[in-house]
Amino acid sequence: MGQLFAVELVYRGVFQKTLAKNITRGIVLAAHNEGKLGISFGRYGDSPERNGIPAKSFAIVANDEETLQAGMAQYEPKQVDVTVVLDDTLCKGGESWAWYGLQPVHHALKPGHTLIVISLQDAPTLLKSIHRREEPYKLAVLKGVTSFSGMWVYKDDHTDVRVLGAIAKALPEVVGLKSVEQFITDKLKNSLKLTSAQTAFERFKSIDVKPGQGNPEQLPKFELLKWEDMREGVSIKGQPQGCAYADPVTKQIGGFRPARNELFKKYSTRTQRPVVNFATCTKCTLCWLNCPDASFDVTPDKTYDANLEACCGCGICEDVCPVKDCITMVNESQFHDNHSQWEAFKKDHDAYLKWLEKTIESAEPEEKRAHGFRYRGQYKEQVPEALAIAQKG
The whole-angstrom separation of Cα 53 and Cα 17 is 11
pLDDT: which is higher, 127 or 223: 127
Q: Is the pLDDT of residue 96 over 70?
A: no
What are phi and psi for residue 62, nearest 5 degrees?
Answer: -140, 165
pLDDT band of 192, cuts 50, 70, 90: very high
- Same domain, yes or no: 288 and 333: yes
The whole-angstrom separation of Cα 381 and Cα 136 is 41
Q: What is the CATH number of the domain that holds 297?
A: 3.30.70.20
Residue 65 lies in a domain: yes
Residue 15 lies in a domain: yes
The whole-angstrom separation of Cα 383 and Cα 17 is 17
Average confidence (pLDDT) over 294-307 = 95
- Beta-carbon contacts of residue 324 (< 8 Å; ≥ 6 apart): none
**Can you give the pTM of this predicted structure?**
0.90
The tally of domains found in the chain comes to 2
Average confidence (pLDDT) over 298-318 = 94
- Same domain, yes or no: 154 and 35: yes
- Same domain, yes or no: 116 and 246: no
Q: What is the CATH number of the domain that holds 29?
A: 3.40.920.10
Residue 377 lies in a domain: no
Stated as kind and residue range, the H or E segment containing 80 is: strand 80-85
pLDDT: which is higher, 148 or 265: 148
pLDDT at 236: 67
- Same domain, yes or no: 304 and 210: no
Lowest mean pLDDT among 4-18, 134-148, 163-177, 358-372: 358-372
pLDDT at 116: 98
Helices (H) and strands (E) in the chain, counts: 11, 13
Share of the chain above pLDDT 90, in %: 66
- Same domain, yes or no: 208 and 246: no
Q: Is the pLDDT of residue 200 over 60?
A: yes
Residue 393 lies in a domain: no
Residue 235 lies in a domain: no
pLDDT at 235: 66
- Same domain, yes or no: 162 and 22: yes
Asked if 20 and 160 touch (Cβ cutoff 8 Å), the reply is: no
- Same domain, yes or no: 194 and 305: no
- Same domain, yes or no: 323 and 272: yes
- Same domain, yes or no: 253 and 210: no
- Same domain, yes or no: 216 and 287: no
Average confidence (pLDDT) over 372-389 = 83
Residue 231 lies in a domain: no
Query: Where does a domain end: 160, 189, 223?
Result: 223
- Same domain, yes or no: 255 and 180: no
Q: Exposed, middle or buried: residue 107 (CB in 10 Å: 0-12, 13-18, 19+)?
A: middle
The whole-angstrom separation of Cα 351 and Cα 343 is 12
Mean per-residue pLDDT over the chain, rounded = 90
- Same domain, yes or no: 351 and 256: yes
pLDDT band of 48, cuts 50, 70, 90: low
What are phi and psi for residue 391, nearest 5 degrees?
Answer: -65, -35
Domain limits at 311? 242-368
Residue 282 lies in a domain: yes
